[in-house]
Amino acid sequence: MSSPWPGIDYGYQDPEGFINLDVYNVAGTLVDDAERLAVKMLQDKSAGPELLLKAVVRVSERLAKGGEPIRDLKYYLLRTYINLIKERLRGLKPTEPYEDDVASDAFWGNFAQYVERRICVQQLVSQMDDSTREVFECRVLGHSYEEIGRDKGVSGNIIRSKFHKGLRRLARAMRSDTTAREG
């Protein structure tokens, strides 16, 4: 599935902005994930490398500014990439349907369900604690609990257990919010 991510030997000034060699090389390890996520979220395989390069520029600029050091460059780059996908999603407008489709209840029903589902997921994700959100986003990218655990230096079972505990906490909080509003 992977698009080529050519190797480079030094940082350079791209039309998008400055490219830091270390950030660029880390991005090379994320190309497959970036494409998978672009296909899943944007239905556009070519957006993966394009947005990943923009993420490289943003993170490179952040490093050049100095300030607080980035502890986990791969995670920071992935989060930047995900934020770019979210920006792209917010900017997308539904394609103009054919006249026959506009009159179709099925078209508007499916579109409404899609929008409702997206809003619901965004609300849930915004309520997650940081570690639960991080695992959720990695799972959306197709990573197994074992892969996530390996990156964190713990077993996949620990990651799975903590993730499910986080989801249970979120469910309890949602139930108590609903009960408080109804009562």
Of 55, 45, 64, 127, nearest in space to 86 by CA: 55
pLDDT of residue 108: 52
Under 8 Å between Cβ of 145 and 162: no
pLDDT of 93-138, one tens digit each?
Answer: 444 333 444 444 555 556 667 777 778 888 888 899 999 999 998 8
* Token digits of residue 14: 């791209």
Render pLDDT for 1-49 as a digit per residue (tens, 0 to 9). Answer: 455 677 777 666 667 777 888 999 999 988 888 888 888 888 888 888 8
86-92-96 Cα angle (round to 5): 155
Structural domain spans, the chain: 1-92
157 or 92: which carries more pLDDT confidence?
157
Q: How many CB atoms lie within 10 A of CB 181?
A: 7
C-alpha dihedral sign at 34, 140, 159, 146: negative
Angle at 145 between CA 63 and CA 56, to 5 degrees: 20
Give the pLDDT confidence score for residue 111 in this predicted structure: 62
